[in-house]
Structure 1
């Protein structure tokens, strides 16, 4: 990744992280940590980093804005973090129309196919993180099929898989007393650092 290239991060509130109230429009979460790390690692220049996270998004919302927020920008890299709200809405708003694993996979596959056909971008697929620090929570159990889908799609589309869920669970197994989120979903500073470090490692940029 170098100066002159374009790196898009797209996802939900975990990616958004207050970008619209940030003068640099990248928010104060894992995207900022990645940007800052790259600045120090590559003083000769880094990619143009664009944060396209929107709070509350599910895979269906990404589909609605994929052309405008990804394809039209002709990125060199597209990093995608989605799936938490597809599961969380099943828990906190069960009466709304839900996105179950079959639909999730079908839509995600279509979006990745469009990236391959219309751009030369490297695809970076982030596993959904966690829903509660309790490893055996209902949210984490329901999340597993979505994680399996993400892993399969990374192989199918020759993408970089960022094993966020795997790394979060490993930390929590070793330190169940740690809090990585503020509310079971949204990252605290430790969670954002873990996300960023996992992303950088997966992309060979530590």
Structure 2
């Protein structure tokens, strides 16, 4: 996949994608991996492609489904990147709110299939990840591991590129404290976001990035 200035890249997901974006400013990209990707593209390609961030704090896959037409399809993007899943797991443990893995997979798969069919858009899926910083978070893998497998199956079934954030972050945590990458185990630090951005380029368009950082 080669990204050009004529492309529109749309990113959608939960707080990891949102990354503090200004909801009142449609051009706001937040301070996370989406911003990093846009900066790298501009450094390599001048103005670069149009980049849109539609991440929303707290979203599960069903929340994405409820706003998919307005926040994805109506923008007519040429590439759609989805990062979802950790809240579907997290809500089980902090609120007892279940998101059965089979239903999760069906929902995500339908969103990807509809997007490819309606827009002929290129699809990218970023896997959920967890770097436990508490003993309790270790238990989450009982739910998150099969959910990550479901994300991979949905991506494969719909021809999506896959960004293995779970592997990238866990490998980085072999050399650093987990909190250096995600202070609460879920939300990336600046370093964590840079690693996700680099992994996105490696999976999507290696020739476009990463750009050396000062």
Same fold (TM over 0.5): yes
2:212 equivalent in structure 1: none
What is aligned with 1:172? 173
**Equivalent residue for 2:112?**
112
Deviation at 1:198, TM superposition (A): 0.9
The residue that corresponds to 1:36 in the other structure is 39
Which shows bigger deviation, 180-189 or 16-25? 16-25
Note the C-alpha offset of 1:186. 1.1
Higher relative contact order (Cα pairs below 8 Å, separated by 6+ residues): 2
Rounded to whole Å, the distance in 2 between the matches of 1:181 and 1:161 is 21
Q: Secondary structure at the match of 1:184?
A: coil
Match of 2:80 among 72, 78, 102: 78
CA distance in 1, matches of 2:133, 2:171: 11
Asked if the contact 1:6–1:50 (Cα under 8 Å) also holds between the matched residues in 2, the reply is yes
Unpaired runs of at least 5, structure 2: 210-214
State whether residues 132 and 140 of structure 1, in contact with CA within 8 Å, keep that contact through their aligned partners in structure 2: no
Whole-Å Cα distance in 2 between the matches of residues 178 and 187 of structure 1?
Answer: 9
Figure out how many residues of one structure are paired with residues of the other and give that number: 203
In the alignment, which residue of structure 2 is the partner of 1:16?
18
Distance 1:188 1:176, change over 3 A: closer
Following TM superposition, by how much is the alpha carbon of 1:158 offset from its aligned partner in structure 2, in angstroms?
1.1
SS in 2 for 1:124: strand
Per the normalisation by structure 2, the TM-score is 0.88
Deviation at 1:90, TM superposition (A): 0.8
- Shifted more, 19-28 versus 68-77: the winner is 19-28
Match of 1:18, SS state, is: coil
Q: 1:131 to 1:142 in 2, by over 3 A?
A: farther
Report the aligned-residue RMSD: 1.9
Select between 110-119 and 126-135 the one with higher mean Cα deviation.
Answer: 126-135
